[in-house]
Structure 1
Amino acid sequence: MREDEVDQLLKGLLKHSEPYRQQNQIAPEKPTARRKTQRDRELMECFRNR
C-alpha cells in the first residue's frame, strides 16, 4: 500500500469509530453524595411525618 492509501484508510477508520469511542470511553457523570449538614438533619427531623 502506498502512503496516501494508508492515510486514507486511517482517516476512514478514525471517522467511523468516533461515535463508538465517544459513547464507550466517557464515564457517565454520577452526582456525588453531598454530606448533610447539621441544619439539614434538623430540618428533616422537623418535617418528618407531616
Structure 2
Amino acid sequence: MPGYHLHLLSDDHQHGGHVLDLHCRELKVALHREDELHLALPESKHS
C-alpha cells in the first residue's frame, strides 16, 4: 500500500492489517516512530 497509511492491531495481538476506511465518533490513536527497519526473510531453496 503506497503512501502514508494506518495499521491496526487487535488488543490480543492476534489480528492486524491496513485501515482502508474509518468513520467514528470517538477515536483513540497511538503512534510509534521507528528510525530503523529490521527485516528477516525465510531462506529460499533457489538461492
TM-score bracket, normalised by the shorter chain, equals under 0.3
Q: Computing the radius of gyration over CA atoms, which structure comes out larger, 1 or 2?
A: 1
Larger strand proportion of the pair: 2
TM-score scaled to structure 1, two decimals?
A: 0.17
Higher relative contact order (CA 8 A, sep 6+): 2
Larger helix proportion of the pair: 1
TM-score scaled to structure 2, two decimals?
A: 0.17
